Amino acid sequence: MKIAVLVSGTGSNLQALIDAQLNGQLSGQIVGVLSNKADAYALQRATQQQIATTVISHKEYPNRAGFDEAMHQQLLAWQVDVVILAGFMRILTADFVSKWQGKMLNIHPSLLPYYKGINTHQRVLNTGDRLHGCTVHFVSTELDAGQSIAQFAIAVAPHDNAETLAKRVHKLEHVLYPQVLQWFCNGQLTWQHGQAYFNQKPLEQPIQFAQW
Q: Which residues are catalytic?
A: 108
Q: What is the CA radius of gyration of the chain?
A: 17
User: What single DSSP character describes residue 180?
Assistant: H
Nearest to 132 by CA among 157, 149, 107, 150: 157
Q: What is the DSSP string of 40-83?
A: -HHHHHHHHTT-EEEE--GGGSSSHHHHHHHHHHHHHHHT-SEE
Question: Cα separation of 13 and 165, whole Å?
Answer: 17
* CA 80 remoteness from chain centre: 15
Nearest 10 degrees: CA dihedral of 78, 80, 85, 87?
-30
CA distances, 1 to each of 32, 78, 199 (Å) = 12, 12, 18
Question: Do the strands 104-108 and 189-192 form a parallel or antiparallel pair, or are they unpaired?
Answer: unpaired
Q: In this structure, are residues 4 and 17 in contact, taking their beta carbons and an 8 Å threshold? A: no
